[in-house]
Structure 1
């Protein structure tokens, strides 16, 4: 299924992730859905956009901004689909849950916090 996101929603997503990065905090899928007001199917649109962004970041050889988006559950990790996506992109190898995933995610988040993305203007 091909899911599209409007330019306005895409720009909003990038702005939300940039703000989270600058403030050095993570954001939940639910918070993004509420802030962006994506049309239905909102979660599918959001996950497709995050996967597209991950592919763009891999191509640009930079840390994955989509790693800043997490579930609101106790794990405080992205959903398993995120780990499957980054596995397909060659950035992570291992089961999508457990210690290896948590460790990889923690180190990727630090990399995102410390990276300056080209599109940024002061």
Structure 2
């Protein structure tokens, strides 16, 4: 199944992530789904868009903006699929839960906050 988002939703996603970066705060998947008004299957659509963005950032050797999106749960970490994606990108190795994942994620968030991303065209 191919999952797509509109150009308008993609640009809105980039805008939301940039605002979060500038304000130095994290977003939940639920908040992003609501703000972007993603249609069903919203979580799969958002996950696919975030994985695509992570691949673009990795290719450009930038910190991964998708790290700014976390679960609402107590872990305050991204979903396991995020970690599977960053393992494929060669950015992290290890289980998606536990101290190593939390430590890597915290460091990546700091890198995102401190990086000045070029404006997307």
- Do they superpose with TM above 0.5? yes
Q: How does 1:3-82 map to 2 (within 5 A)?
A: 3-82=3-82
Query: Tell me, which stretches of 5 or more residues in structure 2 are unaligned?
Result: none
User: In the alignment, which residue of structure 1 is the partner of 2:98?
Assistant: 98
Q: TM-score, normalised by structure 2?
A: 0.97
Q: Which portions of structure 1, spanning 4 or more consecutive aligned residues, are displaced by more than 2 angstroms?
A: none
CA drift at 1:39: 1.1
Query: Tell me, which stretches of 5 or more residues in structure 1 are unaligned?
Result: none
Give aligned pairs, total. 120
CA drift at 1:11: 0.4
CA drift at 1:76: 0.3
Q: Could you tell me how far apart the structure 1 residues matched to 2:82 and 2:114 are?
A: 21
Q: TM-score, normalised by structure 1?
A: 0.96
Provide the alpha-carbon RMSD of the alignment: 0.8
- 1:88 aligned onto 2:94: no
Spell out, residue by residue over 1:15-40, the C-alpha distance to the aligned partner (whole angstroms, 9 max, x if none): 00000000000000000011110111
CA drift at 1:118: 1.1
